[in-house]
A and B are shown apart, each in its own frame.
Chain A
Amino acid sequence: MSAVALEHVTLQLGGRAVLSDVSFEIQAGEFIGVLGPNGAGKTTLMRAILGLLAPGAGRIKVFGQPPECGNPAIGYLPQLRTVLPDLRIRGRDVIAGSLNGERWGLALSSRRDRLMVEETLEAVGAHELANRPLAEMSGGERQRLLLAQALIGSPRLLLLDEPLISLDARRQEIAIDVVRRVCRERKITVLFSAHELNQLLGTLDRVLYLGNGHAVLGSVEEVVTAPILSKLFGTEIQVLRADGHIFVMSRGLDVERTDHLHDHGHEHGHHHHH
């Protein structure tokens, strides 16, 4: 069974079609790198899979079922992670608060819940870390903790929205390693959105490139080519391969790196208040 399948899907955001007539199928257990310029619809796609955004046309299937808000089979790490600076609640309690957080009643966690939290913290090496308040963690530490949270409840599909943002190169590698290890072990399907392809090259099975309303899913060799990316970026793109790295260039500029510099405010401008 496919983990995620889109059939002629159109996704609209504020009257603008972010993706139009997109079809692809992701197999269970695949590690998919989701790439594309800002505003290409990476977050929008994830929100649609989560059931937060109904497609304007077409059908989405998640493990054969239509998307459903609060689907326990999906673990999610949102791109915008609000952390109030004055909030001094320890990481462990923040995570425990997300467990069954959609139910009413007192926020008590059962022994089983607590064991589940501890086990997942252990799996990503965030056991000690979780005693500290989120506001006092570095970007990498916080990411690790929130990744643990996304893994709680044994999801079969993990949606990681730009988990590498604000991490330095070494910590990006560590984060990718943790995701790869845990997800291979547990046979979890992963959609991992990122700005840079190179760090994911050794990890991903296939790449889903979004841009210009289109989406192309395939191996890196098939998708990361000048003709396909030129179509997706809507501008002439060169793809250079050197020393095991791939450089996506537009008029001599490295697209991924320059993109990184003005990362904020396109796709989700309305969210930016911290």
Chain B
Amino acid sequence: MSMATTIITDMFAYDFMINAFTAAGIAAVVSGIVGYFLVMRGQTFAGHALSHIGFAGATGAGLIGLAPLWGLIAFTLAAGVIMGALSERISNRDVAIGVVLALALGFGLLFLHYHTSFATQATALLFGNVLAVDHAMIATLALLGAITLAGLAFIMRPLVFSSLQPELAEAKGVPLRAVSVAFLAIVALAVSVCAQIVGVLLVFTLMVGPPAAAQRVTTGLWSGLFVSAGLAIGEAWLGLTMAFYTDWPVSFCIACLSALAYFVCIALPKQTRPAQVAPAS
């Protein structure tokens, strides 16, 4: 047996590894695709804030005896819709988002304070715990992922138009605000899915790293989407493999690979056809 097959059969001898690969694969596809639009719209910081707000929701849910995932979803969805509705004024203002983000983390801490037995789960929330994913969680992630991608497919056309050329999109009758609200609601769901794998603090590793790297290697819209999703899956699965053999935390491995891929792509010569030589205008 070759070394590669040995590596794979060793890993997949464990159910928890099969579960982890499945869950990470779902989260990576959703994050890579939704994140591509987040980067396109220059709203990455808003996405980051959503995950932090979700932390407060998850710990709050724990406090009242609900599964953290539902608190996470409720808070990120609500925050996403509010940010989208205030779009012009808030969602692109780093300072306002930063203040809300810090406040949300503060509330998360408060909820933890009153629910001490929950504290062990805090690390899992913050940094992810993909190795503990069970079948029920995989089903939930698959459902959430499907809803997220279906929603995105529905709004993709006006989303692309209003992201690239908002002034013109408005003139053509695109409801900018509705698109913005719908998109941030979709981001909220994607963040909830992604946070189950890498934790709320590290959602950037799958939602921003791969799309940002993809934009460096291709300038096409669809090719960018595919490269982004592919990179996210590659980083997630390679990260799991790395973690299995080194015993380092999975999220650390994924974060490393995400940063590595991004910096390698930045170092590559820009994927741009040479400027034409003839009339310079």
CB-defined contacts of A131 to chain B, threshold 8 Å? 219, 272-273
CB neighbors of A among B132-162 (8 A): 153-162
B183 CB to nearest chain A CB (Å): 13
Interface residue? B164 (CB, 8 A): yes
CB <8 Å contact, A78 and B167 = yes
From the candidates A81, A87, A101, A128, name the one contacting B161 in the complex (CB within 8 A): A101
Q: Does A144 contact B (CB under 8 A)?
A: yes
- For the complex, what is the distance from the CA of A202 to the CA of B39, rounded to whole Å? 45
Chain A contact residue count (CB 8 A cutoff): 46
> A214 at the A/B interface (Cβ < 8 Å)?
no
A133 CB contact (under 8 Å) in B42, B166, B169, B219 = B219
The contact of A103 among B157, B162, B166, B215, by CB within 8 Å, is B157
A100-B157, A104-B158 given; A88·B216 CB < 8 A:
yes
Cβ-defined contact, A128 with B276, below 8 A: yes
B residues less than 8 Å from A101 (CB atoms): 157-158, 160-162, 169, 172, 174
Report whether B216 and A98 are in contact in the complex, using a CB–CB cutoff of 8 Å. no
In the complex, what distance in Å separates the CA atom of A218 from the CA atom of B172? 30
Cα A174 to Cα B280 in complex, Å, equals 11
CA of A90 to CA of B272 in the docked complex: distance in angstroms? 9
Contact call A105/B154, Cβ cutoff below 8 A: yes
> A167 — nearest CB in chain B belongs to which residue?
B281
Q: Give the distance in Å from the alpha carbon of A203 to the alpha carbon of B216 in the complex.
A: 42
Within 8 Å of chain A (Cβ to Cβ): is B71?
A: no
Give Cα A88–Cα B29 distance, bound, in whole angstroms.
21
Given A89-B224, A93-B220, A174-B281, verify A70-B173 contact (CB < 8 Å). yes
In the bound complex, residues from chain B placing their C-beta under 8 Å from that of A94 are: 164-165
A4 → chain B closest CB, angstroms: 15
Minimum CB–CB distance from B24 to chain A (whole Å) comes to 26
> How many contacts A-B (CB < 8 Å)?
119
Which residues of chain B have C-beta atoms less than 8 A from A84's C-beta?
40-42
In the assembled complex, how far is the CB of residue B33 from the closest CB belonging to chain A, in whole angstroms? 12
Bound-complex Cα distance A70 to B158 (A): 13
Given contacts A105-B157, A132-B273, A136-B272, contact A89 B219 (CB under 8 A): yes
Q: Is the CB of A104 within 8 A of B167?
A: no
Bound together, the chains give a CA A100 to CA B279 distance in angstroms of 32
Give the CA-CA distance A129 to B279 in the complex, in Å: 11
Verify A103–B158 contact, CB threshold 8 A: yes
Q: Chain A residues with Cβ under 8 A from B161's Cβ?
A: 97-98, 101-102
Cα–Cα, bound, A144→B279 (Å): 13
Collect the chain B residues with CB atoms within 8 Å of residue A102's CB.
Answer: 157-158, 161, 169, 172-174
Partner of A52, one of B92, B154, B170, B275: B170
B256 within 8 A of A: no
B168 within 8 A of A: yes
Q: Which residue of A lies closest to B215 (CB)?
A: A88
Which residues of chain B have a CB within 8 Å of any CB of chain A?
Answer: 39-42, 92, 153-162, 164-174, 215-216, 219-221, 224, 272-273, 275-276, 279, 281
Across the A-B interface, the 10 shortest Cβ-Cβ residue pairs: A101-B161, A70-B173, A78-B167, A90-B219, A69-B173, A97-B160, A93-B221, A131-B273, A128-B276, A88-B215
7 A-B pairs with C-beta separation under 8 A: A86-B39, A86-B42, A90-B220, A102-B161, A129-B276, A132-B275, A149-B168
Which residues of A pack against B, CB within 8 Å?
47, 50, 52, 69-70, 76, 78-82, 84, 86-90, 93-94, 96-98, 100-107, 125, 128-129, 131-133, 136, 138, 140-141, 144, 149, 170-171, 174, 273
Known: A84-B41, A93-B220, A105-B153. 8 other contacts (CB 8 A): A52-B170, A52-B171, A102-B158, A104-B155, A105-B154, A105-B156, A149-B168, A171-B281
